[in-house]
Chain A
Amino acid sequence: MTITIDRRRFIQSAAAGSAIAAAGAIFPGISFGAWPKVAGNTGVVSWQKTPCRFCGTGCGVLVGVVDGRAVAVKGDPNCSVNKGLCCMKGYHSVQALYGTDRITTAKIRKNGEMVEVPIQEALDLVAAKLKETRDKHGKDSVAIYGSGQWTIPDGYVASKLFKGCLSTNNVEANARLCMASAVTGFMTSFGIDEPMGCYEDIDHANVFITWGNNMAEMHPVLFSRMLANRKRRTNVKIIDFATRLTRTSQAADTSILFRPQTDLAVANAICHEIIANDWVNWNFVNEHVSFHKGKTNIGYGTEDHFAFTDQDEAISFEEYKKFLADYTPERVEKISGVPAKDIKYMAALYGDPALKVTSFWCMGMNQHTRGTWINNLVYNIHLLVGKISTPGNSPFSLTGQPSACGTVREVGTLTHGLPHGVVMNEHDRQMAAEIWEVPVANIDPKPTYHTVEMFRALDRGDIKFIWIQVTNPMVTMPNLKRYREGAKKDDRFIVVSDVYPTPTTDVADVILPSAFWIEKEGMFGNSERRTQHFAEIVKPPGEAMSDTWQIIEVARRLGFEKQFPWSKEDYIEKIWEEYRKFHAGPKHEMASYQVLRARSGVQWPFVNGKETRWRFNPQYDPACTNGKDFDFYGKKDNRAWIWARPYEPAAESPDSEYPFWLNTGRVIEHWHTGSLTRRIPVLHNAVPSGYVEMHPEDAAQLGVVNGEKVRIISRRGEIVMPAQINGRGVPPRNMVFVPFFDESYLINEVTLDAFCPISKQPDYKKCAVRLEKA
């Protein structure tokens, strides 16, 4: 595609270029960004609210608009999430609208070449190909793969079309790679998804324990709220419990390192200590907790068609205590490398009745082959001491995408999910069929493929048509090579809706131009059950269209006008009001469209005009009905469940042939696969490329210095990238860390597609590699 710049702009940028050159001569190493200015602007900006486009914190931002262009950002002081403060990604988010390689027209593959076509023609082809594939290969040969960046209406219409109309449960989202273990953790421990607490816990807690979570970089706005609390109040501590030293470790009061995967053993040892010292809150445990165990030796899912169903068995407290006997701090020290005294220290913090404790975690615990278990185990700790559902006492699962909660978890855009409940449940299917106005027989009671298996099915040929919206699986899938080669196979048809070219659009047969973020109306849902509406603030470029409307267009071409009757003027409002019916009732009541429009986010359950800040606590939660001080109404026995879950090793651990752990993750400057943040000049110029973080002694042994190339080799693939030594993060010996945002260093060609058998979420944090100097 060629880029047209009008002459005047060209002259301006040329002039700016020479100014940069001149400034560079005076201040070597400094580039001055002299941007052209919106013509005729008097400095008067109109500000409109939206949630930030990036992580799951869900900061309220105000976007400044001049002449139909987004020109500035400030934090929304009326949003309780961030109270007017953003991070570098939020402040510069609007620059992501203006990369010159925006996809503004539809493209289809003709004789191997991508050619531009009118979007209506492309949508005709998508509908025709979907129908043809379905007719020829059956209903489960077509799939849609979205993400936690889908707005709530995007996910809702995707589910309605595929599950309700096309009768296939081939609906997944990249939140499977990100949040699935959090969901199964909540479901198994509480029977209902999403955190009981809220960000206000930060203003009440005395102790923060971050579990494998570099919050300083990944959730900076919440982390700085913790720091501000530590400064303002006495008796506030931050404990960083991690596998490598990060900026969070630097800011924490104490940093405790554990060997990968052994968080399972340490969590059990903490519970062992709590019981051994009788720090158990017996009133709470006797009233509100029941004890359970599940299957063990549950596998890793690395083989195709892997299946696993857990089976719970009630146990007594005595049996649970006996199970914990293996996890004395001294024994766990040997497994985990965490000194027994540090385990006892953490147990004492959780156990001290005078301290309010909040635990935070995100990908470290979720991207884990025992992700469901480690979620359960941290809940165990909080439940034993009764530190839950009260201000400051909160086991808090953070999210990484703006609407992983709102769209994927609440709308249920996973193979087993429905907007309310699951496809396996007859009552839930009936409810969906009624609201969707489809025969109940349309909804298949059997889940099909979770994400990894969906891409395996694409490789095998069980799936022939896949529509990928708002995500970049050709960067993010573990064991990537297999899935890329699968997607490229001859009779696979790949539709990709996106805003910029990515390695995923590279494998597409049709590329649909999407409206980005504030170029369309929608809602996100953040980590603390907050639904956040945003209006269309600026116009989408060219023929770009919202993902919701793309799906509606295709649905109508397939003959589902009745289910998708809305007009462009008010479809978001109509979809919201239809979707809201699924959540009626005090456990999940959602605010009306009008309320969402008016406020900077509203927390559900939203009952009688009131938000619910702490669930399961009758002082705050109107769904509590048992007359006691807590009501864990998610489970049939009205109790929260403590699980006996053992330590089991990782799917692949270092050995003599592959002696290093490979850990992957993120940096503050970039978000997800970087397709947006790398187009934000400030962020790209701060961290322009991927790198491999090494321990200085490992680097010395290998003979590499900062910036020299290292080859990272696993059983799946290899990659060569520059080393970073003593940078912002320092892994322990025999571990390397690689951020995955850079599409020119596809680290996922090296990672392993092992997953948690319960959540089916892959473990991106642990596999074995060896290193060579390249």
Chain B
Amino acid sequence: MMEKKGSEKWAKAVPGLLALSFLGLLLVTGREARSVEGLDNFDHQGKKLYEAGEATPEIYLSADSGDRNLASFYELRQYPGSPPRIPHKVDLSFSGNETDCLSCHAKGGYSPEFGKFVPVTPHPENSLCYQCHVPLTEEKPFVASDWQSIEPPRLGRSFLSSSPPTVPHSLQLRENCIACHTGPGAVAEIRVAHASRGNCRQCHVPAVQTDELREFQRK
């Protein structure tokens, strides 16, 4: 616990260039911690990302949706990073299998039914959609909640004045950047204009400011 609090303070205190070296440290230690068993499924090389970029039709990289923004993005989530609610009606027999959700959310595109461009799932390999995503059928709570969320990550945090901003969120289940950051279903504020470059992590490094797993030590 002591160590955690200390480094948290430390992370808040270091500005500018110092932060860059701290980040470097994080990445080095982070990499070491990640060479453990169980992380082998992670796509360190970004192959999946690259291929997804290749497979994205050109039109999705440039069209515009106009109505999905960060406010509505976070309003569907209990905390930044939580699985979003399903913001539209689903059939009572909602099965969540590939012929339902993924028929729209795998590739996106315009949905005449909803009159909108459809957001694309960042993890199409997971096809049991209802494992995490639920519709809303009742607005009243069972009892009130004292839940408090946290601020979402800040945008545009570059460490040098013109350097590419870092990735401010965990890539777990969000390895496919273009799903949220490009195309007509993308969130307006975080849509990028240069998605055709494909390999996002060539320039943008994950720099999630967390005290990762410091409370206990891994073997």
Give chain A's interface residues, CB within 8 Å of chain B: 3, 20, 23-24, 27, 29-38, 41-49, 62, 64, 66, 69, 71-75, 77-80, 83-88, 91-92, 95, 98-101, 216, 220-221, 223-224, 227-228, 231, 247, 250-251, 535, 595, 597-599, 668-669, 678-679, 681-689, 706, 724, 726-728
Cα–Cα distance between A535 and B4 once the two chains are bound (Å): 14
What residue of chain A has the Cβ atom nearest to residue B42's Cβ? A77
Q: Would A668 and B130 be within 8 Å (CB), given that A47-B210, A48-B215, A728-B93 are in contact?
A: yes
Question: Does any Cβ of A come within 8 Å of B2's Cβ?
Answer: no
Cα–Cα distance between A73 and B134 once the two chains are bound (Å): 17
Give chain B's interface residues, CB within 8 Å of chain A: 4, 8, 11-12, 36-39, 41-42, 72, 75-83, 85, 87-89, 92-97, 125-128, 130-154, 168, 170, 172-173, 209-219
Cα–Cα distance between A721 and B169 once the two chains are bound (Å): 44
Cα–Cα distance between A100 and B85 once the two chains are bound (Å): 22
Main secondary structure of the interface of B (DSSP, over half): loop
Cα–Cα distance between A87 and B129 once the two chains are bound (Å): 10
Q: Would A727 and B93 be within 8 Å (CB), given that A34-B75, A228-B126 are in contact?
A: yes
Q: Are B148 and A681 in contact (CB under 8 A)?
A: no
Q: Are A250 and B92 in contact (CB under 8 A)?
A: no
Q: Would A43 and B125 be within 8 Å (CB), given that A99-B143, A224-B131 are in contact?
A: no
What residue of chain A has the Cβ atom nearest to residue B96's Cβ? A247
Q: Are B36 and A726 in contact (CB under 8 A)?
A: no
Q: Are B145 and A62 in contact (CB under 8 A)?
A: no
Q: Would A47 and B213 be within 8 Å (CB), given that A33-B75, A95-B78, A688-B140 are in contact?
A: yes
Residues of A within 8 A of B219 (CB): 595, 598-599
Q: Are A681 and B4 in contact (CB under 8 A)?
A: no
The 17 listed contacts between A and B (C-beta, < 8 Å) are A35-B147, A36-B148, A38-B148, A42-B151, A43-B168, A46-B8, A77-B42, A91-B82, A91-B132, A95-B145, A98-B147, A223-B128, A535-B215, A598-B218, A669-B134, A682-B78, A686-B137
Q: Would A43 and B152 be within 8 Å (CB), given that A30-B136, A228-B126 are in contact?
A: yes
Instruction: Pick from A72, A100, A247: contact of B146, CB below 8 A.
Output: A100
Q: Are B172 and A74 in contact (CB under 8 A)?
A: yes
Instruction: Pick from A32, A78, A227, A599: contact of B39, CB below 8 A.
Output: A78
Residues of A within 8 A of B36 (CB): 78
CB distance from A82 to the nearest CB of B (A): 10
What residue of chain A has the Cβ atom nearest to residue B99's Cβ? A250
Instruction: Pick from B38, B137, B145: contact of A77, CB below 8 A.
Output: B38
Instruction: Pick from B126, B137, B153: contact of A43, CB below 8 A.
Output: B153
Q: Are B172 and A75 in contact (CB under 8 A)?
A: yes
Q: Would A220 and B128 be within 8 Å (CB), given that A83-B38, A688-B142, A726-B92 are in contact?
A: yes
Instruction: Pick from A47, A599, A706: contact of B218, CB below 8 A.
Output: A599
Cα–Cα distance between A331 and B80 once the two chains are bound (Å): 58
Residues of A within 8 A of B217 (CB): 598
What residue of chain A has the Cβ atom nearest to residue B77's Cβ? A33
Q: Are B96 and A85 in contact (CB under 8 A)?
A: no
Indicate the member of A3, A77, A223 with the most B CB atoms within 10 Å: A77
Indicate the member of A30, A101, A679, A683 with the most B CB atoms within 10 Å: A30
Instruction: Pick from B72, B136, B145: contact of A98, CB below 8 A.
Output: B145
Q: Are B218 and A78 in contact (CB under 8 A)?
A: yes
CB distance from B140 to the nearest CB of A (A): 7
Residues of B within 8 A of A688 (CB): 137-138, 140, 142
Indicate the member of A66, A72, A228 with the most B CB atoms within 10 Å: A72
Residues of A within 8 A of B94 (CB): 728
Closest 5 CB pairs of A and B: A686-B134, A32-B75, A688-B138, A220-B131, A224-B128
CB distance from A545 to the nearest CB of B (A): 20
Q: Are A251 and B128 in contact (CB under 8 A)?
A: yes
Indicate the member of B88, B139, B140 with the most A CB atoms within 10 Å: B139
